[in-house]
C-alpha cells in the first residue's frame, strides 16, 4: 500500500535548504516525523497472538459481513511510539507560554488535579442516591457561596457547561423575567468590544441583535447606547473588562440607563480574573454574569471540555434560575428538580442540562479558591493586570498599541499591524512566533482593531518568561517592519509548514482514505 499524502502537502520537503541542513529521513535530531497510523500499520498485522476462531454456526440469518473489516494492526512498540511522537507535537500550557488573548490560558495547579481525583468526587455517579453524595453537594453549595460573595450577587446557577452556555442561561432567565411581566421585547444590544459569542447567543435565543459602537478609547459609546435604548430592548450584553483589554468605567451609568429603560444587563464575565477580589459586578448593576471557571479559577481549558460556566443572577432574575438547584434543608443537601419544585422555584425557566454540572471542575475551582484565600485572589487580579501592562509598555515603541493612551490595560494588551512593511501581515508575525517557540496570540480579533494582535500573559507567568517572550515578539515584529520575505513562509521549523488557511477552512479533508 502506498502512502496517502493527499491533503498533507505541508510536510517539510527533504532536499530543500530553507529549514537548515537536510536529513534523509525528514527527522530533525530527536524530533521524529510521524505518518498517520493507517500508513504504518496493516490489515494483516496484529500486536497480539489470538487463537483461531472455532467453528460456529452463524445466527445472523445471512446478514454476516462478507468482506474483511479492514482494521489496521500494529505491534505494541509501534503503537506506543506513534502516540508518544504525536504527543511531542502537541503544544499546551504545561509546555510553555500560551498568550491567547481573551482565552486566559493559565497554569492549572496540580493540587486542584489531586483534589478532583479523590475517589469521593471522581467516582460518584449523577444518579446515586443523594444521601450518598452529601459531600459533593456540599462542595457545590460552597463554591456557589464563594461565587455569590465574590460578585455580590444573591443567586447562582451552577449547571451551565461552559461560558457560552452560561450566556444562554442568563439570556433565558432575562426572557423568562420579561415574559413573566408580559413584556415581549425582541432586541439585544451588543457593543463592538464584546466577546464574539455574545451576539451569537442572543441570536440563538431568538433575539434580534444590534451593535453599539466603541468610542475612540476602545470602550462602549455610552451616548450611542443611551440613544438606542427603548421599549423593544430586552437586554444589553456587555463584556467587562472588554475584549480590547479595557475596564468599562461607565458600567454603573450604563446599568442605570438600561434599568430605567426596563431592560436587563448581561455581563460577559469571561475576563473576571482581571478584577476578582477588586470589583464586585453586583455593585455595578449587573443582572446576570457567567463565570468561566477555567479563566478565573484555573480549571483546565481547551479541547472542547469538560467546561463549566456558572451564572450569577440579580434579585430580579433569581426566581427564574434553571433546575436543578442545591439547597440545604434540615442539615442535609438536596437537589431541587422539576418534580419537587417548591414555591421558591416555581418560576424557573426549566432545565438546560441532564444533570447538575461538572463535578471535576467544581472541585478544581473550589480548591483554587481555598488555596489562594481572599488575599490570594486579589493578588491574582493584580498580577494579571501587571503582566499585561508590562507587555503593553515593553512593545509600544515597536508596535502600534491603539488604546495605549486610554490608560492601563487590564488582563490583555492589544496591538495592530500598523507600520508593517507592504505585504507583511499579522498572520506572518504569528507564524514567526511559532518558529521562536511560542504559541501565537489571538489574531484579527476584536474587529475594532485592524490586524489585531491580542496578547494575554495571565497572572501565572514569571517576569523571566515574559521577558523572553517580549524579546522574541520584538524580533519577529521588526522582521515584519523590515519586510523580511522569509517571514511570509514561516513557520520553517515546525513539524508542518504553513497551511492554505482558506482551503483548510472551506475544503477540509478530515477523513483518511486509501489511495
CA atoms within 13 Å, Cβ hemisphere of 140: 25
Indicate whether 144 belongs to any domain. Answer: yes
Whether residue 342 is found in the same domain as residue 404:
no
Domain boundary among 338, 368, 398: 368
Any idea which residue has 439547597 for its cell?
327
What's the confidence (pLDDT) of residue 390? 98
Whether residue 436 is found in the same domain as residue 387:
yes
What's the confidence (pLDDT) of residue 37? 86
Q: Which of 264, 297, 259 is nearest to 151 (CA)?
A: 297
What's the confidence (pLDDT) of residue 30? 86
Domain boundary among 306, 338, 368: 368
What's the confidence (pLDDT) of residue 15? 44
Whether residue 357 is found in the same domain as residue 383:
no
The helix or strand, by DSSP H or E, that contains position 395, with its residue range, turns out to be: helix 359-395
What's the confidence (pLDDT) of residue 6? 53
Whether residue 303 is found in the same domain as residue 357:
yes
Tell me the helices (H) and strands (E) count for the chain, helix number first.
14, 12
Q: Work out the angle at residue 322's Cα, subtended by the Cα atoms of residues 318 and 326, and round it to the nearest 5 degrees.
A: 85
Contact of 295 with 396, CB cutoff 8 Å: no
Whether residue 411 is found in the same domain as residue 476:
yes
Contact of 262 with 226, CB cutoff 8 Å: no
What's the confidence (pLDDT) of residue 19? 58
Any idea which residue has 493586570 for its cell?
385
Cα 445 from Cα 297, distance rounded (Å): 24
Indicate whether 477 belongs to any domain. Answer: yes
Whether residue 379 is found in the same domain as residue 338:
no
Helix 134-151 to helix 359-395 angle, to the nearest 10 degrees?
Answer: 30
Cα 310 from Cα 49, distance rounded (Å): 50
Q: Assign 252 to helix, strand or coil.
A: helix
Whether residue 398 is found in the same domain as residue 469:
yes
Indicate whether 119 belongs to any domain. Answer: yes
* Tens-place pLDDT, residues 211-245: 999 999 999 999 999 999 999 999 999 999 999 99
Whether residue 139 is found in the same domain as residue 283:
yes
Residues in contact with 198: Cβ distance below 8 Å, sequence separation at least 6, in sequence order: 167, 190, 237, 239, 266, 268
Burial tier of 511 (Cβ tally within 10 Å: 0-12, 13-18, 19+): exposed
Q: Assign 200 to helix, strand or coil.
A: helix
Q: What is the rounded average pLDDT of the residues 13-37? A: 72
C-alpha cell of residue 339: 418534580
Indicate whether 93 belongs to any domain. Answer: no
* Tens-place pLDDT, residues 261-277: 999 999 999 899 999 99
Whether residue 429 is found in the same domain as residue 361:
no
* Tens-place pLDDT, residues 401-438: 999 998 899 999 999 999 999 999 999 999 999 999 99
Cα 255 from Cα 284, distance rounded (Å): 7
What's the confidence (pLDDT) of residue 142? 97
DSSP 64-122: ---S-----B--HHHHHHHHHHHHHT---TTTS---BTTT------HHHHHHHTSHHHH
C-alpha cell of residue 354: 441532564
For residue 310, give the CATH number of its domain. Answer: 3.40.640.10
Whether residue 332 is found in the same domain as residue 364:
yes
Q: Structurally, how many domains does the chain consist of?
A: 2
Indicate whether 71 belongs to any domain. Answer: no
Residue 512 pLDDT grade (very low, low, confident, very high; cuts 50, 70, 90): confident
What's the confidence (pLDDT) of residue 210? 97
Indicate whether 135 belongs to any domain. Answer: yes
Residue 26 pLDDT grade (very low, low, confident, very high; cuts 50, 70, 90): confident
Residues of the domain holding 396: 375-494
Q: Work out the angle at residue 448's Cα, subtended by the Cα atoms of residues 472 and 289, and round it to the nearest 5 degrees.
A: 95
* Tens-place pLDDT, residues 56-113: 899 999 999 888 888 888 999 999 999 999 998 888 889 999 999 988 889 999 999 9
Query: How many Å separate Cα 162 from the centre of its chain?
Result: 9
C-alpha cell of residue 13: 520537503
What's the confidence (pLDDT) of residue 17? 47
Contact of 429 with 480, CB cutoff 8 Å: yes
* Tens-place pLDDT, residues 193-205: 888 899 999 999 9
Whether residue 354 is found in the same domain as residue 402:
no
Q: Which of 100, 108, 39, 117 is nearest to 74 (CA)?
A: 39
Residue 1 pLDDT grade (very low, low, confident, very high; cuts 50, 70, 90): very low
Cα separations in angstroms, 49 against 71, 201, 250, 285: 16, 53, 71, 68
Any idea which residue has 492601563 for its cell?
408
Top pLDDT among 6 and 25 is at 25
- Look at the chain and count its residues: 515
CA atoms within 13 Å, Cβ hemisphere of 128: 14
Q: Is the pLDDT of residue 21 over 80?
A: no
pTM of the predicted model as reported, rounded to 2 decimal places: 0.88
Write phi, then psi, for 168 (nearest 5 degrees). -60, -40
Least-confidence region, from 49-53, 215-219, 232-236, 281-285: 49-53
Residues in contact with 188: Cβ distance below 8 Å, sequence separation at least 6, in sequence order: 171, 199, 202, 205, 207, 208, 209, 210, 233, 234, 235, 236, 237
C-alpha cell of residue 437: 517557540
Contact of 152 with 280, CB cutoff 8 Å: yes
Write phi, then psi, for 257 (nearest 5 degrees). -65, -40
Indicate whether 454 belongs to any domain. Answer: yes
> For residues 290-305, b (16+ Cβ closer than 10 Å) or e, as one string?
bbbbbbbbbbbbeeee
Long-range Cβ contact pairs of 223-226 (< 8 A, separation 24 or more): 225/189, 225/191, 225/254, 225/257, 226/257
For residue 440, give the CATH number of its domain. Answer: 3.90.1150.10
What's the confidence (pLDDT) of residue 187? 98
What's the confidence (pLDDT) of residue 92? 87
Q: Is the pLDDT of residue 515 over 70?
A: no
DSSP 280-323: -GGGGT-SEEE--HHHHH-----TT------EEE-TTTGGGPPB
What's the confidence (pLDDT) of residue 510? 81
What's the confidence (pLDDT) of residue 222? 96
Indicate whether 21 belongs to any domain. Answer: no
Cα 249 from Cα 254, distance rounded (Å): 10
Domain boundary among 313, 347, 368: 368
Least-confidence region, from 155-159, 291-295, 314-318, 395-399: 291-295
Cα 175 from Cα 55, distance rounded (Å): 65
Whether residue 427 is found in the same domain as residue 311:
no
Amino acid at each position: 500500500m502506498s502512502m496517502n499524502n493527499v491533503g498533507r502537502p505541508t510536510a517539510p520537503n527533504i532536499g530543500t535548504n530553507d529549514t537548515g541542513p537536510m536529513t534523509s529521513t525528514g527527522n530533525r535530531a530527536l524530533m521524529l516525523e510521524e505518518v498517520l497510523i493507517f500508513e504504518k500499520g496493516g490489515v494483516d498485522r496484529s500486536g497480539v497472538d489470538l487463537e483461531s476462531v472455532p467453528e460456529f454456526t452463524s445466527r445472523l440469518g445471512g446478514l454476516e459481513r462478507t468482506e474483511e473489516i479492514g482494521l489496521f494492526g500494529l505491534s505494541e512498540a509501534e503503537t506506543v511510539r506513534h502516540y508518544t511522537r504525536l504527543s511531542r507535537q502537541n503544544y499546551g500550557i504545561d509546555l510553555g507560554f500560551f498568550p491567547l488573548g481573551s482565552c486566559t490560558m493559565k497554569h492549572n495547579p496540580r493540587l486542584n488535579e489531586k483534589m478532583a481525583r479523590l475517589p469521593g468526587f471522581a467516582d460518584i455517579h449523577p444518579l446515586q442516591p443523594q444521601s450518598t453524595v452529601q459531600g459533593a453537594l456540599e462542595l457545590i453549595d460552597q463554591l456557589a457561596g464563594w461565587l455569590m460573595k465574590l460578585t455580590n450577587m444573591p443567586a447562582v446557577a451552577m449547571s451551565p457547561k461552559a461560558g457560552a452556555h452560561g450566556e444562554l442561561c442568563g439570556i433565558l432567565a432575562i426572557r423568562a423575567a420579561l415574559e413573566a411581566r408580559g413584556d415581549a421585547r425582541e432586541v439585544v444590544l451588543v457593543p463592538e468590544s464584546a466577546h464574539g459569542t455574545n451576539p451569537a447567543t442572543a441570536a440563538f435565543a431568538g433575539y434580534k441583535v444590534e451593535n453599539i459602537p466603541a468610542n475612540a478609547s476602545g470602550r462602549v459609546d455610552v451616548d450611542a447606547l443611551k440613544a438606542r435604548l427603548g421599549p423593544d430592548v430586552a437586554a444589553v450584553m456587555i463584556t467587562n473588562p472588554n475584549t480590547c483589554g479595557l475596564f468599562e468605567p461607565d458600567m454603573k451609568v450604563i446599568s442605570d440607563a438600561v434599568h430605567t429603560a426596563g431592560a436587563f444587563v448581561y455581563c460577559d464575565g469571561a475576563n473576571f480574573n482581571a478584577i476578582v477580589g477588586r470589583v464586585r459586578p453586583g455593585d455595578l448593576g449587573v443582572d446576570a454574569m457567567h463565570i468561566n471557571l477555567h479563566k478565573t479559577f484555573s480549571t483546565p481549558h481547551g479541547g472542547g471540555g469538560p467546561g463549566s460556566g456558572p451564572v450569577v443572577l440579580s434579585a430580579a432574575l433569581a426566581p427564574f434560575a434553571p433546575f436543578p438547584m442545591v439547597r440545604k434543608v434540615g442539615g442535609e443537601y438536596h437537589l431541587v428538580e422539576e418534580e419537587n419544585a417548591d414555591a421558591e422555584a416555581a418560576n424557573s425557566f426549566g432545565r438546560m442540562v441532564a444533570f447538575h454540572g461538572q463535578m471535576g471542575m467544581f472541585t478544581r475551582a473550589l480548591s483554587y479558591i481555598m488555596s489562594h484565600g481572599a488575599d490570594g485572589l486579589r493578588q491574582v487580579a493584580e498580577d494579571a493586570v501587571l503582566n499585561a501592562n508590562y507587555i503593553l509598555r515593553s512593545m509600544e515603541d515597536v508596535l502600534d498599541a491603539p488604546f495605549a493612551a486610554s490608560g492601563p490595560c487590564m488582563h490583555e494588551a492589544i496591538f495592530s499591524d500598523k507600520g508593517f512593511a507592504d505585504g507583511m501581515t499579522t498572520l506572518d508575525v504569528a507564524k514567526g512566533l511559532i518558529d521562536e517557540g511560542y504559541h501565537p496570540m489571538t489574531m484579527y480579533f476584536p474587529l475594532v482593531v485592524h490586524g489585531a494582535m491580542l496578547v494575554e500573559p495571565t497572572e501565572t507567568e514569571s517576569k523571566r518568561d515574559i521577558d523572553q517572550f517580549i524579546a522574541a515578539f520584538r524580533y519577529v515584529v521588526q522582521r515584519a517592519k523590515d519586510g523580511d520575505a522569509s517571514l511570509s513562509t514561516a513557520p520553517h521549523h515546525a513539524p508542518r509548514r504553513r497551511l492554505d488557511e482558506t482551503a483548510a477552512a472551506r475544503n477540509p479533508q478530515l477523513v483518511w482514505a486509501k489511495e
